[in-house]
Structures are given as structure tokens and as C-alpha cells.
Amino acid sequence: MEAPPVTMMPVTGGTINMMEYLLQGSVLDHSLESLIHRLRGLCDNMEPETFLDHEMVFLLKGQQASPFVLRARRSMDRAGAPWHLRYLGQPEMGDKNRHALVRNCVDIATSENLTDFLMEMGFRMDHEFVAKGHLFRKGIMKIMVYKVFRILVPGNTDSTEALSLSYLVELSVVAPAGQDVVSDDMKNFAEQLKPLVHLEKIDPKRLM
């Protein structure tokens, strides 16, 4: 007895169910340059884009078992850029033919008083980190190569330390539900990055 997967749920409320297809991998620091060069060749021709973001993850603990998670992200190097609020659902597992991790995704841009708003709503911040890296794009695919920094003093984004000696590489596509052909394209692209990086679908529940 299983809930129907989100890809089959009807469109309600006037919005389309957007799904995020995700493949992840990592690359060691000393191989970062070769990866960046390869990505610059493979991806769309644009100026290399770097980003420095501060992400905070908020939880709302209801009476039910699992808390509701919202991710708030702000840019630390682009003044005036809006904050970004994102909801990511549980990844849909079970389909072995689908090469990418698929989960429901809702994204919106917000103003700067997002944290106050969430606190008033009853959310509490669970953890935060700083992400610094590069962004590439190929068609609808977005490739991010970034390093995760742990924040030592909560609220102070200047005192950070790197979490590991690797960069996280994420290949993601946000597309309407039901388009599984997207995952084939992602797999083909991931093949081109081997053997530098092995992009694969990693189930976060396995790592808990």
C-alpha cells in the first residue's frame, strides 16, 4: 500500500509540480582545475560564474513524526540579490531505470526579512553552511562545483572552516513532473565527466 508517486499526482492549485533531478559526486581539491577546464569546454559558453552563498536550513516540528524542512539561501557576494526559499520533498526511490535522484521541489525568491518571517511562523534553524564555488549551465542542466564550509560561530559567516578536502559536484535539472527522459540526458552528460568525477544518485537516507 503505497502513495502514488508525485509524478502521477494531478496538478492542483494552479501550479505545476516541479521535480528536481539530481546527480552528485565530488572532486578532490587538486583535481578541481582539470574539472573546471573540462566543464568550461562541455558547458554553454559564458563567463565563468562563481558564487558565495549562505544557506540556512529551518525545521518546523509539528505533532507528526518528521519535521518540515525549508532551505533559505542568500548570496553573500551579490548585493541586492533576493533571498531564495526552497522546499525539497522526499526523494522518490524504487525506479531502478531512472538514473537520477528525483524529488519534489518548490522554489521562490523572497525579500530579506525571510529569517524573521520563518521564526515567527515557528520554524527553528537547524543548521547552516556557506557554499563557495562555480556554476555552469548546459541547456536546462545546472552544474555546481562548490566547497561546503562549516560556520564555527552561529550567525557569523566570517568564521568558517572547510568541511572536507573535496568540492561537491552537483548536476541538477528542475523540470515538470513526469519527464524521465531528462535523467537520460543527465546520465550522458555525467559519462563525459568520468573518470574525473563519478556523478551518481546518492540516497541521503542511506547516509543517515
Partner 1 sequence: MRSCYLTGVCTPSPWLFSPPFYVSYLFIWVTNLFLLVQREEKQLEASLDALLSQVADLKNSLGSFICKLENEYGRLTWPSVLDSFALLSGQLNTLNKVLKHEKTPLFRNQVIIPLVLSPDRDEDLMRQTEGRVPVFSHEVVPDHLRTKPDPEVEEQEKQLTTDAARIGADAAQKQIQSLNKMCSNLLEKISKEERESESGGLRPNKQTFNPTDTNALVAAVAFGKGLSNWRPSGSSGPGQPGQPGAGTILAGTSGLQQVQMAGAPSQQQPMLSGVQMAQAGQPGKMPSGIKTNIKSASMHPYQRPSCPVFILAIPLRCKVKKLLGQEEKKNARLQL
- Which residues of the chain form contacts with partner 1 (CB under 8 A)? 1-3, 24-28, 31, 34-35, 57, 59-62, 64-69, 87, 89-90, 113, 116-117, 119-122, 124-129, 148, 150-154, 161-166, 168, 195-198, 202, 204, 207-208
Distance in Å, CB of 47 to partner 1, minimum: 24
Q: Strand ranges (DSSP E) for 97-196?
A: 101-110, 124-138, 141-151, 160-162, 166-176
Burial of 120 (0-12, 13-18, 19+ CB in 10 A): exposed
Q: Cβ closer to partner 1: 126 or 184?
A: 126
Q: Cβ closer to partner 1: 2 or 47?
A: 2
Distance in Å, CB of 139 to partner 1, minimum: 18
Contacts of 185 (CB under 8 A, 6+ apart): 139, 141, 173
Distance in Å, CB of 19 to partner 1, minimum: 15
Q: Cβ closer to partner 1: 4 or 47?
A: 4
Q: Cβ closer to partner 1: 3 or 181?
A: 3
Distance in Å, CB of 78 to partner 1, minimum: 21
C-alpha cell at 201: 544518485
Nearest-angstrom CA–CA distance, 170 and 131: 12
**Listed residue (59, 57, 82) closest to 151, CA to CA:** 57
